[in-house]
Amino acid sequence: MIGAQKDVLDLACGYGEFINNISARSKTAIDINPDAPKYLNSDVRFVMTPATDLAPIESDSLDIAFTSNFLEHLPNKECCDQVIGEILRVLRPGGRFVIMGPNIRYAYREYWDFYDHYLPLSHLSLEEGLKKSGFEVVRNVPRFLPYTMKSSLPTAGFLISAYLKMPFAWRFFGKQFLVVGQKPAR
């Protein structure tokens, strides 16, 4: 889904779990945590800036923007719209915004167990927000990954790989969505 010859942005990169483990032509990581660069590989460019202001990133300069478990931490939909607008600006025409996050529709019980969850989103509300901002939604998987990897179930790499190859299992365990928006060609 990413592509080795792509210019990739990891939005709210955390400790680099995604950006450190992909192949890409160029890798940029965004976060407001000043400690984040300590965890990033040397081939990752780090930019400390809020997701609502990606001014340090040139317009139409990226092929892929990725974020996981971030949007629910935004304070409101207006802020989410700003983030989506900034991603739309920095993506090249045809560029994709790959988003994973807890689906309030399937994780409504445990969603509010995290003090810093503010914005409840489902796969449908996120699709609507992306379209409103100018994206075309090219993939929408309501149930993708389990809500958390912190459980009594084993999480070895080969088990995760096997799970991802069995989409029928997603409907039983998946409580996170995978939504992919694409910036229209000009």
pLDDT tens column, 22-32: 999 999 999 99
More confident residue, 111 or 160: 111
Query: Does residue 179 contact residue 99 with C-beta atoms inside 8 Å?
Result: yes
> Which range has the worst mean pLDDT, 124-128, 149-153, 175-179?
149-153
- Predicted pLDDT of residue 35: 96
- Predicted pLDDT of residue 175: 85
pLDDT one-digit tens code per residue, 128-168: 999 999 999 999 988 877 756 555 554 566 777 776 777 78
More confident residue, 172 or 47: 47
- Predicted pLDDT of residue 99: 97
50: closest CA among 83, 73, 85, 10? 83
- Predicted pLDDT of residue 113: 85
- Predicted pLDDT of residue 34: 96
pLDDT one-digit tens code per residue, 4-28: 899 999 999 999 999 999 999 999 9
- Please tell me the pTM assigned to this model: 0.90
Q: What percent of the chain has pLDDT over 70?
A: 93
The single-letter DSSP state of residue 68 is: E
Q: CA 78 to CA 81: how far, in whole Å? A: 5
Q: CA 48 to CA 50: how far, in whole Å? A: 7
- Predicted pLDDT of residue 180: 97
Rounded mean pLDDT of 50-73? 97
Angle 77-90/123-133 helices, nearest 10 degrees? 60
pLDDT one-digit tens code per residue, 92-109: 999 999 999 999 999 888
Query: Which class would CATH give 7-182?
Result: alpha beta
